[in-house]
Amino acid sequence: MTSLTPTAAIAVAGVGLAAVSLVVAVIAVVKMNRLRRDYLLLAPRDDERSIVEVVARKTEEVRALRSEVDSLRVLLDRTRTELGDAIRHVSVVRYDAFADLGGRLSFSAALLDDGGDGMVLTSIQGRSETRQYLKGVRGGKSDTMLSPEELQAIEFAMGRRGR
């Protein structure tokens, strides 16, 4: 085996160090090219906005939309509550109040909210006169005695019987 002179050993170490330095430099150049490519993707071109600006604006728009949806949800809940008290269930039953009078001119109309509260309006048509009756309804029932036609109108309005 031959031994290296100190000068040769320094030269071999220098070549090894240069090779390691070259590898590190190549890795640095590759990483720099990747960073440059990523920057170009994010950087604005001409009059366009950068992708970062676009994403920031869209994020703000989504926040605003979420806030608006929350407001609409509150409004919808309030509307549903108010609508429950509105007269939404209506039914009319027509009939002949008297056997000698045809044409089903008499009627009973039920006008109720979601809780079955409201009224029944009845109009009885006779040959020489007409009479109207208005009866209050609570929970689908009345304190006043109801005719079969009035009961039927309430049942129809509440959806308990087919029409």
Residue ranges covered by each domain of the chain: 51-84, 89-157
Buried b (16+ CB within 10 A) or exposed e, 94-109: eeebeeeeeeebbbbb
pLDDT tens digit sequence for 25-44 = 999 999 999 988 887 777 77
Can you name the residues that pair with 133 across neighbouring β-strands?
122
Average pLDDT over residues 76-97: 90
- More confidently predicted of 118 and 54: 118
Can you name the residues that pair with 123 across neighbouring β-strands?
107, 132
pLDDT tens digit sequence for 43-71 = 777 677 777 788 889 999 999 999 999 99
Q: What is the pLDDT of residue 163?
A: 45
Helix residue ranges, H only, 43-111: 51-84
Residue 6 reports pLDDT greater than 80: yes
